[in-house]
Amino acid sequence: MRYLLFVLSLLLSVHIAVLSQSNRIDLKEIVEGKYSSRGTAEMRPMPDGEHYTMLSTDKKCILKYAYKTGKITDTLFNVNTVRETKLKSFDNYWISNTGYRIIISTDKENIYRRSWKANLYDYDVRRNFLKPFSDTPGKLMVPTFSPDGRMCAFVRDNNIWLKKFDYDTESQVTTDGSPGKILNGITDWVYEEEFKTTNLMSWSADSKFLAFVKSDETAVPSFSFQEYDGSLYPGFMTFKYPKAGENNSVVTCHVYHVETKNIKKMNIPLNTDGYIPRITFTENPEQLAVMTLNRNQSTFNMYYANPKSTVSRLILKDENKYYIDSDLIHKIHFTKDNFLYISEKDGFSHIYLYTVNGIPEKQITSGNWDVTDLYGINPLTKTVYYQSAEESPLRRSVYSTDVKGKVTKLSSKTGTNSANFSANFNYFVNNYSNTTTPNLFTMNDEKGKELFVINDNAALKSKIGETTFPQKEFFTFETPQGISLNGWMMKPTDFSTSKKYPVLMVQYSGPDSQSVLDAFGIGWESFMASSGYIVACVDSRGTGARGEEFRKCTYMNLGILESDDQIAAANYLGSLPYIDKNKIAIWGWSYGGSMTLMSMSRGNGIFKAGIAIAPVTDWKLYDSIYTERYMRTPKENFTTYEKNSPIALASGLQGRLLLVHGTSDDNVHFQNSMYYSQALIESGKQFEMQIYPNKEHSILGTKYRFHLYMRIVDFLQRNL
């Protein structure tokens, strides 16, 4: 949920239009992304560490590039020259470690936000020969090469199958897969959404064993919403969705022996309501790392399971009085002798080095700042590469630290930097931006030296230069509770201290999120500032990069401290001499929509208007993994669930409200807005509502986004 909502926040940070002057931007240009930074095609590191591959812009070729020069060195696949099966283009590809086999996919069909199925093709590089991956028609999921490149596991109809390239055969590994009941190797809706994973299969280093997680979602309640497809009698979309406190899938870990074809269940100590968010073999074929969380997500255990004996032993245990961030589990990096793990045990997110058998060796990073990403470790030099907020919670830089503890800052520019390293860590692509600079992609060596520019978004910089945009100004203020909060503000380009301006507050406020960052994004907030509004954003308590206590202080009490801080921010802004304290509005999407409603109900009239898009209006209505991570189950935390919801506070709503939701939202269900509307009506509260038929959580589509933006602007013009 967090990643999706962060992306949504950025999408709604896109300019609508400034209408009155010819050199100002147009709404349709914004909806079409003409003021968004352009990235690069996905650059996939090759095993040799000196090359990477990319899909050509016309999606007809796989091109091989040299990291050192950025020049094309080879064409690995070309639809126009391949023998046998002919394709017009393709969607995606996977290359075996040997480079002899490439799997090509076409006609991708999305299932949920991350999961998909597609038609697959098998390309033999040595023969330049392409043919359908399987003789059985139908789209397949999660193709997963064995390390030796001679086999590929995949999922068909919830069952795992195995393709052996040497014999051009496929065999069925599991037989109990069934929609809505048993999933083998793939994940259910809530794992996909909250653990950000769709593939729970792993090969041993010697390619003799295939490990997988089996999910039994039989007892998980189903959720349905109607699809308005033009039919006289519309149908329903139905899927398994565990809400807070309801049954989750029961997960177990198994290993398939390729030679004997036997499947053994690993003996992993885990309650039936626990989670297995990740499995991966270490470099030792007899060590399958199985990573588990208890249902409250307060205890993380990593076991090594032996695929032959099925016996497991505890290697790492991390307990937290709040919760373990599951993102940290996916950042564990293994070498032959060691593994790296990010823990918050000293109050901040830092990197720790362990022997491969779980013996602590040393703390790699330390200080009153958070490591925000771990890129990996060079096994030859023992150099660790990471991203952190050491300079400021508002910024990100890329660093390395060697065996002697010498820290080197690899990114040179101040703002937001992230890295994508080569397999041998000799090169990395740095993605940099700040509030005034569109994303700049450069190739750098392991010491941070810039080798060449990949993409500087020159066209966008030129387009931006054609007009004057309001600039973000960072500020801090102190709440009545003595808490210092970070924010940014945009003033009209013709700002005058002699005038008083209405204010639009934008926020997300969700756990470990950040909206106040020194990063590029021209948004509709800029339009509002150009139209005579002051636009401001404040990161409340519970947001990221300020240590564990700040990040987790909302635990078991979602909504109260965050809305307290938005109310305090509104009062602070209202005290400024150039702001009209009687004309303050607040808006947000998803978690931000919830906080809009909470703030308007608890703000004693400080907000004259508000816009809530796809809000969670009762935490009992949202999914188990996300909600229980921060609130535990309704049974354990009943009083807070009952009190800390917009529905419970609906009678206290003050100000004009626009409530927005898509009817096909599989994430935050339309049910939330329906129940909240009912509560408002029963409380005698008038409000406006905008419904988008068949639209999901993001309300995507040019026409729909255009309509949404215009609806918001019209509402604010009438009510602020």
**pLDDT tens digits, one per residue of 385-428:** 999 999 999 999 999 999 899 999 999 999 999 999 999 999 99
Residue 431, pLDDT > 60, answer yes
Average pLDDT over residues 130-144: 97
Label residue 288 by pLDDT band (50, 70, 90).
very high
Average pLDDT over residues 102-124: 97
Indicate if the alpha-carbon torsion angle 594, 595, 601, 605 is positive or negative: negative
Give the Å distances, CA to CA, from 141 to 59, 106, 155, 693: 20, 12, 5, 29
Residue 21, pLDDT > 60, answer no
Say what the alpha-carbon torsion angle 371, 390, 360, 344 is, to the nearest 10 degrees.
-60
Residue 22, pLDDT > 80, answer no
Q: What's the pLDDT at 25?
A: 60
Strands of 435-522, DSSP E: 437-445, 450-455, 472-478, 484-490, 501-506
Q: What's the pLDDT at 469?
A: 84
Question: One-letter amino acid identity for 321?
Answer: K
Q: What's the pLDDT at 588?
A: 97
Q: What's the pLDDT at 1?
A: 53
Q: What's the pLDDT at 466?
A: 83
Average pLDDT over residues 334-360: 97
Q: How many residues does the chain have?
A: 720
Q: What is the DSSP string of 607-640?
A: -SEEEEES----GGGSBHHHHHHHH--TTTSHHH
Residue 20, pLDDT > 50, answer no
Q: Could you read off the pLDDT of 1-18 as tens digits, one per residue?
A: 544 444 444 444 443 333
Q: What's the pLDDT at 523?
A: 80
Q: How many CB atoms lie within 10 A of CB 192?
A: 18
Average pLDDT, the chain: 95
Range of lowest pLDDT (27-31, 302-306, 472-476) = 27-31
Q: What's the pLDDT at 456?
A: 96
Question: One-letter amino acid identity for 164?
Answer: K
Rounded distance, CA 128 to CA 197, Å?
33
Average pLDDT over residues 558-569: 98
Q: What's the pLDDT at 458?
A: 95
Residue 522 φ/ψ, nearest 5 degrees: -90, 120
Q: What's the pLDDT at 465?
A: 85
Question: Could you tell me the end-to-end alpha-carbon distance of the chain, in angstroms, rounded to an integer?
Answer: 31
Average pLDDT over residues 586-603: 98
Q: Which residues contact 20 (CB under 8 A, 6 or more apart)?
A: none
Rounded distance, CA 703 to CA 531, Å?
23
Label residue 338 by pLDDT band (50, 70, 90).
very high
Rounded distance, CA 543 to CA 517, Å?
12
Rounded distance, CA 518 to CA 530, Å?
20
Q: What's the pLDDT at 516?
A: 98
Burial class of residue 644 (count of CB atoms within 10 Å of its CB; 0-12, 13-18, 19+): buried
Q: What's the pLDDT at 423?
A: 97
Q: What's the pLDDT at 34?
A: 84
Q: What's the pLDDT at 442?
A: 98
pTM attached to this predicted model: 0.95
Average pLDDT over residues 624-644: 97
Half-sphere exposure in the Cβ direction for 552 (13 Å, CA): 17
Q: How many CB atoms lie within 10 A of CB 346?
A: 14
